[in-house]
A and B are shown apart, each in its own frame.
Chain A
């Protein structure tokens, strides 16, 4: 008997449901799990209250005749808190998205397009997945829309397409990211970059269709605006039955279909045609042990991490992910719609000074024993634990500083804000040092079992990441003051003194944290090994 496509879809959705439910069941077995879930419930409540307040305020202003906001602009504004809130779950350490890895379905008799569709639709099923976060902005968009009840049916259709397009796109990015990061072939990395180039192409097409390309300087920000499918939904809501609304609906449908076709084609390429396999192993270039002014053990361990930076998908994924923030800034930033490029550039440079090292270090440094391959081998050796941590700290700070600097330079070029780079770069290095210090403590005191489910080979989660986030924010107070005090006093020259001082304080924090972490590891390394391999 051959299962039909619908039966297979049902089974794939059932799989996602079971995998997700079991994950939560497992998380709730721990006492800390309840605390994290309670924190998330609080976040949802706050989000709802914020949006209720926003909707009520704008509703009042509209009724009183103060403003007549076009629907799409408010949709974009309403989506901004969504992006910010999406950062929250990972900071609390909850594994929100237990993703169904498409590769594991390959031995089964499932077509590639069924597999793509099933994995994509499965993304909407996570109990704490972005979908619930999407509800308040959607409600806001409907309430604020000027079309009222007449636009309800086309509006819902447009929102459905928006959701479908989002899940198709995220699945498409997941499969290309997973395949290109793990691959050693340049053309696969190009396929990944191609997804973003195609997105920019779509944005340009939309602008061409709608006209009004604007000035050359504002083009990038307008491209990012045009690529936002919510803007198209906004146009449908604003003019559901008019020419503009129908054009927007047609484009949205074409985008959704194109995303599905592209996702199926890329899945076919990565899963069927170019299948990475262990026998692809080939001779790799030898890397010499460096002779930095560190102990022999530290140099040796640093050498091992350098090799991993070249060869390990996890380390590369963390670095790529950080660099991708630049692209994300262009293609998905709603704020550029309501701000000029100069202001947006300043905003993004400030945000990425923190977010770039945070993204990299939360993937590797927050739970470094969990992310460490061959940990039992290492702990069975007489390697000095303090030297191990010191080498790891040097590695993390240097790589985090490099990828953050690349992100910031890219951002400064895009928004033409090279004038802000010196302070941004100095601050990001100090932030990398402070976050590494937090990572030392969270790794030693809250080591977590590593998850092997999902497209990231190993993900960091649990209390360790929560502690990393909390300590990290605390440790970055000196950097915040170093930037904030001169700004408050209106004297930028003060930065010459405050930024180096903050850097020195962060280094002192790191030194102390390495010492504390080493003491903890020496006392409890058996326990740590058990906990990260649980």
Chain B
């Protein structure tokens, strides 16, 4: 299992179990006159596998950027691993692993070098970096091309390399923005397996994805945002109740109901 071989979280450095892993209060972010996030309030317990859903442009990526300390909120607060993202961004960054949707990699590093770089910046011991790198590269099927530059990787391979870098330092909180986009089914299954096991080791996973089937299978709790606002949150059963749908309805139906997706006819007028 990734991260279990050589734990880097020192005693006392971990998150006090009483505190939520992620906490936001009235979190708002505006860009000029556009409100990307509007008063988001969340509390995610440690070890949760949290699904974060929403249509395109609903504020998911903005939320993840704020939680990662990459974007300042206009108002409200966000705490990750007990630290405020504005006041203590470095403490937050030490404790998170980030897989961002817009991959910004040093493309002239090799896959192996990317892992070494990330590990060193997170103060992971060299021998631990080596050991974990080998394991991650093997698991994510990057072993054979580990010494090629990232610029020569496909989009899916880059995503896997970034995920490996995000996992290497054994983060307390994993922020994943669309981790399955562009990834082949074999690797997707491996990633699902890794993430599932991580959740059982008290790592909090915050997963934003459009693939509802994955969210449905993996997540213990789900939140749905729409136009920057939280429109539903809780275990799937609770959301089904809130959406006034039956017990066997899929997450897709619950999601569509919560975001009040308009019904549009699929036929093209000029083809009729």
Residues of A within 8 A of B (CB): 1-3, 7-8, 11, 14-15, 18-20, 22-23, 26, 98, 100-101, 103-104, 106-111, 272-273, 275, 277-282, 452-453
Contacts and interface: CB of A to CB of B under 8 A. Distances in A.
B113 A275 contact: no
B201 to A, nearest CB: 20
Given A8-B121, A272-B89, A453-B151, 9 more contacts: A7-B123, A18-B113, A19-B109, A23-B108, A108-B93, A277-B62, A279-B34, A281-B31, A282-B34
Contacts of B70: 106-107, 275
A140 B94 CA distance: 48
A106 to B, nearest CB: 6
Contacts of A8: 121
A1 B8 contact: yes
A107 B117 contact: no
Contacts of B62: 277, 279
Contact of A278 (B32, B61, B94): B61
Contacts of B211: none
A26 B32 contact: no
A363 B49 CA distance: 47
Chain B interface category by residue count: 35 or more
Interface of B: 8, 10, 29, 31-34, 36, 57, 59, 61-62, 65, 68-72, 89-91, 93-94, 98, 100, 102, 104-110, 113, 117-118, 120-123, 149, 151
Contact of A109 (B33, B34, B59, B94): B94
Contacts of B61: 278-279
22 contacts: A2-B94, A3-B120, A3-B123, A8-B121, A15-B109, A15-B117, A18-B117, A98-B108, A104-B106, A106-B69, A109-B91, A275-B70, A275-B71, A277-B62, A279-B29, A279-B57, A279-B59, A279-B62, A280-B31, A281-B31, A281-B34, A282-B34
A18 B94 contact: no
Contacts of A2: 94, 123
Contacts of B33: 282
A277 B31 contact: yes
Contacts of B91: 109
Given A2-B94, A273-B72, A279-B61, A110 B108 contact: no
Nearest to B119: A11
Contacts of B89: 272
Nearest to B100: A107
Nearest to B97: A107
A126 B109 CA distance: 15
A111 B90 contact: yes
Given A1-B10, A22-B149, A277-B71, A109 B90 contact: yes
A22 B120 contact: no
A232 B109 CA distance: 39
Contacts of A278: 61, 102
A33 to B, nearest CB: 15
B65 A110 contact: no
A104 B104 contact: yes
Contact of A11 (B32, B105, B121): B121
A108 B92 CA distance: 10
B65 A277 contact: yes
B117 A11 contact: yes
A453 B105 CA distance: 9
Contacts of A101: 104, 106
Contacts of A100: 106
B123 A15 contact: no
A109 B122 contact: yes
Contacts of B109: 15, 18-19, 22
